[in-house]
Every structure is written in structure tokens, then in C-alpha cells.
Amino acid sequence: MSNHNIQIKAGNIIDTIGSLYNSLTPSSKRIADYVMSNATQVSKHSIAELSQIVNAGDATIIRFCRTLGFKGYQDFKMELAIEVSNLQGREKEIFDTDVTAEDNAEVIGHKLQSTIESVLAETMNLLNFQSLESVAEALKDAKAIYFFGVGSSGLTAESAKHKFMRIGLNVDAFTNNHFMYIKSSLMQPGDFAVGLSHSGNSVETTKALRLAKESGATTIAITHNPRSDITKYSDYVLVNGNRQGQLQGDSIGTKISQLFVLDLIYTLLVKRDISGAKANKLKTTEALSNQS
């Protein structure tokens, strides 16, 4: 299965460029910077005009468009114009949500709310829902599910372990690289490894997924960059949002977008009622609420 075919739809181009940004060449990054900052202007430019503005040749611009799944510049320009017209008046500038020294608690609360709403909309744009359904269908027959992540993604991995355990699944989470490598090297066919890395370039989580794949396990990556290192060893790639800000790994948007993707998988599993998921959830709720 190829993990590097990005499917574009209206309302998805800007978010997709953001997700691929770190894997672009320097010249493609110049094109991306201009498109993301001046999306409304692009439809007015010929390829020759854009070439002068971004200091990149026609061939580079065409390659950039093909990277996003378009045949060429005209297709890209038309689809972008549709997206811009759909978003106009609704999408704020990224910096609108930056907190200033003058903001009180209520204003900060509204800005954080705006960030969360934006990152969830971005995640909905970037997710391949067919892949999501396939992941849920495959996981319902899993012998065991192991979540791998370090740093902030490690906290998400632990949270996922708690949630999926509640419906009777055989799950565990590993956030220490030594334990990750030991467990992943001992995995077997029928086991699932879920790697969480926002950048997709976590050395530890990437190695864990590689070892798991070599051991015969099925591998799933949850990442912001669908062309990052971790996807080379992933049978399924689920893309989470949050291109805002430089501190992506620690931001509230990153954590919420990862949890949102995991919650979608969880809900699909409960919907399929794997192993009596609803009954198990009730049992565990009663067990936790009974203090005697």
C-alpha cells in the first residue's frame, strides 16, 4: 500500500500544504509560503507571474502542484479558488488567536476555543475517512494493540491505553524508548502497533514501528505529516491537524487533534460492538464507581 498518495478535495488544499510543509524542498516551501499567505491572489496569477514572485521555475511550480495531487497549475489554481471562496469570511488569520499581554482570562479562553475549533476542522479536512474505517475494521480482530509515543505524544499514548482498555481490548502503551524497542521487536502477526508522532520524525517512535513491522505486526501512524519518516513503516496513515504555531508538539491543538483521531477510532469500535464493548464499558464504569 502506498502511503504517499495525498487525496485533495475542495476545502483541503491549504491544510494539506501545511501538513506536507516540512517535507518540501526549499523552492517548494517558497511556493507554499506564498500560497498560504496569499491564497486569494493565486488565481489572478499566470504560472509565469507566480514564477517571478516566488523565484522558482515553471517546472518547479508544476511539480509542487503534482505533489498535491493535481495534474498541473491550472487544476490547482481552479481548486484553490473554490476553496478560498468557500472559506472567505469564515477563516481567521492564524495570528488572530495569538495571546497578547492585554488579554484577560475570558479573551484568552475565546482564543483557545478558536484554536481548538480550527484544529478540529483542519483534522477533518486532512483525515482519510476510508482509511479510518479500515483501521477500525482491522482493529476489531486485533490480538493486542500497543501505543507508542514519546514526550507529549507519550501522554496521548497513555490516555489511549486507558480509553481502549475500558472496552475490553488487550492494550498497552510504551513511552520509554528501551521498552518500546523490546516490545515492538517481540510483536507477532495479529498485533497492532500505533505510533503517535506529530512531526512524524520521532526517531524512537519511527524505530518502534519499523521493528513492529519487521516482526509481522500491522502498523498505524497518527501524524501531521503524511510524508514523514514514520509513514515509511506504516500500513495505515491517519493525519491529524495543527499547523498553527511553532510549539506544535506541546500545543493544546496538537494534543486535542491526536485525541480526536483516537476517539474516532474508539467510537467506530464501539459502534461495531467488538467483544461486547458497550457491556464492558458499563462493567468498568461500575467497577470504578464502586468504592466498597
User: Mean pLDDT per 10-residue run, the chain (292 residues)?
Assistant: 51 86 93 92 93 94 92 91 73 57 88 86 92 95 96 95 94 97 98 96 97 98 94 96 57 89 96 79 83 58
Q: Are 62 and 19 in contact (CB under 8 A)?
A: no
| Helix (H/G/I), strand (E/B), else coil: 131 | helix
For residue 87, give the nearest of 12, 35, 19 by alpha carbon. Answer: 12
Give 182-218 pLDDT, tens digit per residue: 999 999 999 999 999 999 999 999 999 999 999 999 9
Angle at 84 between CA 129 and CA 65, to 5 degrees: 70
d(CA 19, CA 198): 10
Report how far residue 94's alpha carbon sits from residue 225's, in angstroms, rounded to the nearest whole number.
19
Longest dimension (CA), the chain: 75
Provide the pLDDT for residue 69: 87
